[in-house]
Chain A
Amino acid sequence: MKKPSNYIFILLVLLLCNACEKNIDLQLDKTPPMLVVEAYINNNLRSYNYVIIGKTVNFTESQFANTAVEKATVTITEGTYDKGKGYQWNTAGKVTLKEGKMPAMHSLYVPGLYFDPRLIADSANAIMGKPGKSYLLEIVSEGKKYTAITTLPIPVPIDSLTNTPPFKDDSGRVRARLTVHYTDPDTLGNAQIYYWSNRYTKSTFGWGALGTDRYLPNTDELVNGQSIHITHSAVMPVGDTATYYLVSIERPVYDFWDSFNKARANSGPFSTPVVLKSNIKGSNVVGCFSGFSVSSMKHVMK
Chain B
Amino acid sequence: MVNRRKTIRIRQWNFLFLLFGGLNTYGQSTLLKVSVTNQQQQGINASVAAGSVTAVTDATGTALLRLAPGRYQVAVSAIGYTGSSQGIVLNSDTTIAFVLSKSTHQLRSVTIESDRILQLGRMSSHLLNMDQIKKMPRLFGEIDPLKSITLLPGIKNAGDAGGIYVRGGGPDENLVLMDGITVYNPTHLLGAFSIFNGDAVKSISVIKGGMPAEYGGRLSSVISVASREGNKDSLKLNGSIGLISSRLTVEGPVSKGKSSFIISARRTYIDQIARWVAPESIHENGYYFYDVNAKLNFELNKANSISVNFYTGKDKFNYDKVQSNDRHRNFKADWGNTLAGITWKSQVSKRIQQELSLSHNSFDLGSRITYITDGVLFSSGLLDYQVRNDWMYIPADRLKLKAGWQGTWHQFKPGAGNISAGEQAFVSKINKQYGREAAAYLSADWDVSQKFNILAGVRASYFDQVGPKNEVVYGKDGVPTGQTIKYGKGAVIARYMYPEPRLAMRYLFDPETSVKLSYTRTVQYLHLATTSAATFPSDLWIPVSRLIKPGIADQVAAGFYKNLSGGYEVSAEAYYKEMSNELEFMPGAQLLLNQNLEGEMIFGTGKAYGLELFFKKKTGPFTGWIGYTLSRAERTFPALNGGKPFPYRYDRTHDLNITANYELSKKWLFTGLFVFSTGNALTMPNGRFGYNLGYNFRNDVPVFTNIDRYGKVNDYRMPAYHRLDLSVTFTPNPESTRRFKSHWILSVYNVYNRSNPYFIYVDVDEKKQTIQGKQVILFPILPSLSWNFNF
B615 within 8 Å of A by Cβ?
no
A: number of interface residues (CB 8 Å): 101
Q: Within 8 Å CB of A231, what residues of B?
A: 373, 421-424
Residue B13 interfacial (CB < 8 Å) = no
Q: Is the CB of B319 within 8 A of A177?
A: no
Is B771 positioned at the interface, with any CB of A under 8 Å from its CB? yes
Known interface pairs A9-B536, A17-B758; A2-B695 also in contact (CB < 8 Å) = no
- Minimal beta-carbon separation of B616 from chain A (angstroms): 34
Contact of A167 with B326 at beta-carbon distance under 8 Å, contacts A6-B532, A56-B689 already known? yes
- Which segment of A142-150, A153-161, A258-266 sits at the interface? A258-266
B695 close to A204 (CB less than 8 A)? yes
Alpha-carbon distance A222/B653, docked complex (angstroms):
45
Contacts of A266 in B (CB 8 A): 588, 708
* In contact, B692 and A38 (Cβ under 8 angstroms): yes
Instruction: Tell me, rounded to whole Å, the shortest Cβ–Cβ distance linking B40 to chain A.
Output: 39
Is A125 close to B, CB under 8 A?
A: no
Q: Looking at the complex, which one of B331, B380, B687, B761 makes contact with A8 (CB distance below 8 Å)?
A: B331
Chain A residues with CB under 8 A of B374: 1, 215, 233
CB <8 Å contact, B595 and A188: no
Restricting to A94-110, which residues have a CB under 8 Å from any CB of B?
Answer: 105-106, 108, 110
Query: Shortest Cβ distance from B333 into chain A, in angstroms?
Result: 5
Contact B376 A20 (CB under 8 A): no
The interface centre, meaning the residue of B190, B698, B710 with most chain A CB atoms within 10 A of its CB, is B710
Per-residue interface assignment for chain A, residues 217 to 256, with 1 indicating a CB less than 8 Å from any chain B CB and 0 otherwise: 0000111000011111101000000000000000110010
Known A106-B697, A259-B588; judge A24-B715 contact (CB<8 A).
no
Residue of A nearest to B695 (CB): A205
Asked, given contacts A203-B696, A204-B696, A208-B705, whether A22 binds B775 with beta carbons under 8 Å apart, the answer is yes
Closest to A267 in B: B764
Contacting pair A52 B693 (CB below 8 A): yes
Q: Is B479 an interface residue (CB 8 A)?
A: yes
Is B287 on the interface with A (CB-CB < 8 A)?
A: yes
Residues on B with beta carbons closer than 8 Å to the beta carbon of A264: 692, 705-707
User: Are B689 and A59 interface neighbours, CB within 8 A?
Assistant: no
Given A56-B689, A66-B702, A232-B422: A25 and B695 interface contact (C-beta under 8 Å) = no
A56 to B532, CA, bound (A): 26
Task: Please name 10 pairs of A and B residues whose Cβ atoms are closer than 8 Å in the assembled complex, sorted by A.
Answer: A1-B369, A3-B590, A5-B367, A9-B333, A64-B690, A67-B689, A221-B480, A252-B477, A266-B588, A271-B533
In the complex, residue of chain A having the shortest beta-carbon distance to the beta carbon of B757:
A24
Q: Is B352 an interface residue (CB 8 A)?
A: no
Give the contacting residue for A251; candidates B477, B538, B588, B703; CB below 8 A: B477
Instruction: Given A12-B317, A24-B773, output 11 extra A-B contacts at Cβ < 8 Å.
Output: A8-B317, A16-B189, A17-B776, A21-B776, A31-B687, A54-B689, A56-B688, A64-B769, A230-B421, A264-B707, A272-B532
**Cα distance A266–B421 when bound, in Å?**
22
Number of interface residues of B (CB under 8 A): 100
| B residues less than 8 Å from A262 (CB atoms) | 588
Question: Which of B534, B709, B774 has a CB less than 8 Å from the CB of A56?
Answer: B709
Given the complex, which residues of A lie within 8 Å of B686, measured CB to CB? 28-31, 58-59
A11 neighbours in B (Cβ, 8 Å): 319, 331
A206 to B481, CA, bound (A): 34
Chain B residues contacting A274 (CB-CB under 8 Å) are 587-588, 708
Min CB gap B243→A, angstroms:
16
Measured in the bound complex, the distance between the Cα atoms of B689 and A67 in whole Å is: 8
Residues of B within 8 A of A5 (CB): 333, 365, 367, 369, 376, 378, 380, 536, 538, 592
Q: How many A-B residue pairs have CB under 8 A?
A: 309
User: B residues near A, CB below 8 A?
Assistant: 189-190, 287, 317, 319, 324-326, 331-333, 365, 367, 369, 371-374, 376, 378, 380, 419, 421-424, 426, 428, 472, 477-482, 531-534, 536-538, 587-588, 590-593, 595-596, 683-698, 702-711, 713, 715-716, 755, 757-764, 766, 769, 771-780
- Report B-chain residues with C-beta under 8 Å of the C-beta of A24: 757, 760, 773-775
Q: Are A229 and B423 in contact (CB under 8 A)?
A: yes
**Cβ–Cβ contact B691 & A36, under 8 A:** yes
* Interchain residue pairs A-B with the least CB separation, the first 7: A231-B422, A209-B694, A206-B694, A208-B694, A26-B773, A262-B588, A274-B588
Centre residue among A52, A179, A204, A269 by max chain B CB count within 10 A? A269
Partner of B684, one of A7, A28, A223: A28
Identify the closest chain A residue to B709 (Cβ).
A56
B47 → chain A closest CB, angstroms: 43
Question: Which of A84-92, A132-140, A168-176, A292-300 lines the interface with chain B?
Answer: A168-176
Interfacial chain B residues near A34, Cβ < 8 Å: 687, 689, 709
Tell me if A210 counts as interface (CB < 8 A to partner B): yes
Complex: A240 Cα to B96 Cα, angstroms: 91
- A260–B479 Cα distance when bound, in Å, is 18
Tell me which of A4, A23, A268 has the highest count of chain B C-beta atoms within 10 A of its own C-beta.
Answer: A4
